[in-house]
């Protein structure tokens, strides 16, 4: 990309959080590259990916989205991962009830590590797997309301709401900092 395309008014660090296997890496790859990987191993090793968003008022935001390299499996996410984050995508898998039950724990970890006011989008991923659903959409909505989070169900596989989840989060961060 040329230097001109790299120009931006704001840089927002966003972190991906949630249990292993919920689809964090694939949400990132879908949003930044329009790719999907069946084999999750192929996505290991990415530190962050960026995407430039043009807002309605002409401002340009560069979103720097951080992905874990599987450390969440060992509860070994470091403080550096969270440092300076403006927002988070807090992800569970609608086909794994336990991944929703762990959300309060992830939320606590986020709030412990991030000082500044942060915008959090709760995401119920894999909504394409209707026949395997263990979490109703109302359960996700209710938790989001109780905790003051944005909420969407997504599918990294068929692209449902992936763009919306990231851009709603970015718009809300921008709205709050004005
Ligand atoms: P992570 O551990 O949270 O980063 O999860 P991954 O992105 O590695 O995904 C774990 C597994 O779930 C992989 O086999 C993906 O192909 C699969 N997966 C991720 N997102 C979706 C989705 O939206 N729908 C379906 N059906 N599978 C998904
Ligand atoms: Mg991953």
Can you tell me whether residue 18 is helix, strand or coil?
coil
Q: Is the CB of 125 under 6 A from ligand 1?
A: yes
Question: What are the backbone dihedrals phi and psi of residue 53, each rounded to the nearest 5 degrees, phi first?
Answer: -120, 130
pTM score, two decimals? Answer: 0.94
Question: Are 123 and 16 contacting, i.e. CB atoms less than 8 angstroms apart?
Answer: no
| Strands ordered across the beta sheet of 48-54 | 48-54, 60-66, 10-17, 87-93, 119-125, 150-153
Q: Which residue has the higher pLDDT, 39 or 121?
A: 121
Q: What is the mean pLDDT of residues 103-117?
A: 91
User: What pLDDT is attached to residue 61?
Assistant: 97
Task: Tokens for 64, please give them.
Answer: 């720097």
The predicted-structure confidence for 8-66, as pLDDT tens digits, reads as follows: 999 999 999 999 999 999 999 999 999 998 876 655 555 899 999 999 999 999 999 99
Q: Please tell me the distance from the alpha carbon of residue 39 to that of residue 109, in angstroms, as a whole number.
A: 28
DSSP 120: E
How many angstroms is it from 151 CA to the middle of ligand 2?
21
User: What pLDDT is attached to residue 47?
Assistant: 81
Which atom of ligand 1 is the closest one to the Cα of 41? 8
Question: What are the backbone dihedrals phi and psi of residue 74, each rounded to the nearest 5 degrees, phi first?
Answer: -110, 15
Task: Give the ligand at the shortest distance from the Cα of 94.
Answer: 1
Can you tell me whether residue 10 is helix, strand or coil?
strand
Task: Tokens for 177, please give them.
Answer: 């900092």
DSSP 149: -
Residue minimizing CA distance to atom 15 of ligand 1: 38
How many angstroms is it from 178 CA to the middle of ligand 2?
32
């Amino acid at each position: 990309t040329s230097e001109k395309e790299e120009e931006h008014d704001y840089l927002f660090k966003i972190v991906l959080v949630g249990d292993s296997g919920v689809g964090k890496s694939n949400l990132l790859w879908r949003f930044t590259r329009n790719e999907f990987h069946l084999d999750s191993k192929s996505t290991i090793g990415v530190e962050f990916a960026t995407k430039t968003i043009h807002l309605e008022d002409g401002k340009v935001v560069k979103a720097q989205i951080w992905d874990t390299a599987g450390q969440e499996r060992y509860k070994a996410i470091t403080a550096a991962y969270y440092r300076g984050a403006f927002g988070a995508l807090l992800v569970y898998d609608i086909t794994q009830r336990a991944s929703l039950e762990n959300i309060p724990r992830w939320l606590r970890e986020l709030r412990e590590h991030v000082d500044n006011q942060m915008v959090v989008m709760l995401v119920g991923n894999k909504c394409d797997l209707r026949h395997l659903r263990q979490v109703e959409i109302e359960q996700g909505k209710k938790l989001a309301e109780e905790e003051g989070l944005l909420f969407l169900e997504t599918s990294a596989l068929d692209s449902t709401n992936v763009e919306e989840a990231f851009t709603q989060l970015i718009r809300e961060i921008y709205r709050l900092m004005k």
